[in-house]
Structure 1
Amino acid sequence: MIKLVKYDDLTLFKKDVIYFLEKFEAENNLILGVLLSLSEIEDSPLLMATVGKHNDIGLVLLQTHPSQIILSKSVSFTSKEIHVIGEKLSNTIQEIPGFIGEKKLTTDLAMYISKLKGIQASVIMDQKIYKLEKVVKKANTNGMLRRIIEKDHRTIKEWVYLFCYETNQPISLDEADKRAKIMINKGNFVAWVVNGELVSMAYATRPTQNNITISYVYTPISERKKGYAADCVSAFTQSLLDRGYKTTSLYTDLNNPTSNKIYIQIGYEAIMDSIVILFK
Structure 2
Amino acid sequence: MHRTLESFDAATHDRLAADPVRNTIALTSLDRVRRLPATDHPPTLITFHENGEVIGSLIRTPPWPFQAADLPLDAVDLAVRTTHEVDPDSPGVTGPRERSEAFATATGKDFSESLATRLYRLGTLAPPAVEGSGRLATEEDAELLGTWRKEFLREAVPEAPDEGAAEAMRSSLRLGNGHALWEINGTPVAWAVASLPQAGMTRVGPVYTPPEHRKHGYGAAVSAMVSQWALDQGATDVLLFADLTNPTSNSIYQRIGYQPLDDWVEFWWKR
Confirm or deny a common fold (TM above 0.5).
yes
Report the equivalent of 1:231.
221
**Gapped regions of structure 2 (runs ≥ 5):** none
| CA apart distance, 1:220 | 1.4
Report the equivalent of 1:218.
208
Q: Highest CA radius of gyration, 1 or 2? A: 1
| CA apart distance, 1:195 | 3.1
**Gapped regions of structure 1 (runs ≥ 5):** 1-5
**Are residue 33 (structure 1) and residue 22 (structure 2) matched?**
no
Of 48-57 and 259-268, deviating more is 48-57
Taking the aligned partners of 2:148 and 2:90, their CA distance within structure 1 comes to: 32
1:154-233 paired onto structure 2 within 5 Å:
155-169=144-158, 175-184=164-173, 188-205=178-195, 207-233=197-223
RMSD: 2.7
Identity, % of aligned positions: 23
CA contact (8 A) 2:197 2:230 kept: no
Go from structure 1 to structure 2 and tell me whether the alpha carbon gap of 1:232 and 1:18 turns closer, same or farther (over 3 Å shift). Answer: same
Report the equivalent of 1:24.
19
| CA apart distance, 1:226 | 1.0
Report the equivalent of 1:15.
10
Taking the aligned partners of 2:36 and 2:156, their CA distance within structure 1 comes to: 32
CA contact (8 A) 1:34 1:206 kept: no
Report the equivalent of 2:54.
57
Match of 2:67 among 66, 70, 81: 70
Taking the aligned partners of 1:171 and 1:38, their CA distance within structure 2 comes to: 18
Taking the aligned partners of 1:49 and 1:161, their CA distance within structure 2 comes to: 30
CA contact (8 A) 1:126 1:253 kept: yes
Of 25-34 and 200-209, deviating more is 200-209
| CA apart distance, 1:272 | 2.2
CA contact (8 A) 1:200 1:229 kept: yes
**Are residue 131 (structure 1) and residue 121 (structure 2) matched?**
yes
Give the alignment's TM-score, normalised by structure 1.
Answer: 0.83
| CA apart distance, 1:93 | 4.7
| CA apart distance, 1:49 | 0.6
Taking the aligned partners of 1:146 and 1:104, their CA distance within structure 2 comes to: 39
1:55-134 paired onto structure 2 within 5 Å:
55-74=52-71, 77-78=73-74, 81-90=75-84, 93-114=87-108, 119-134=109-124
Deviations 1:22-61 (A, max 9, x none): 2220221111111122238944633111123454333211
Taking the aligned partners of 1:18 and 1:225, their CA distance within structure 2 comes to: 42
Secondary structure at the aligned position of 1:26 is classed as: coil
Amino acid at match of 2:103: L
Taking the aligned partners of 1:70 and 1:52, their CA distance within structure 2 comes to: 18
Taking the aligned partners of 2:134 and 2:187, their CA distance within structure 1 comes to: 11
Taking the aligned partners of 2:87 and 2:174, their CA distance within structure 1 comes to: 36
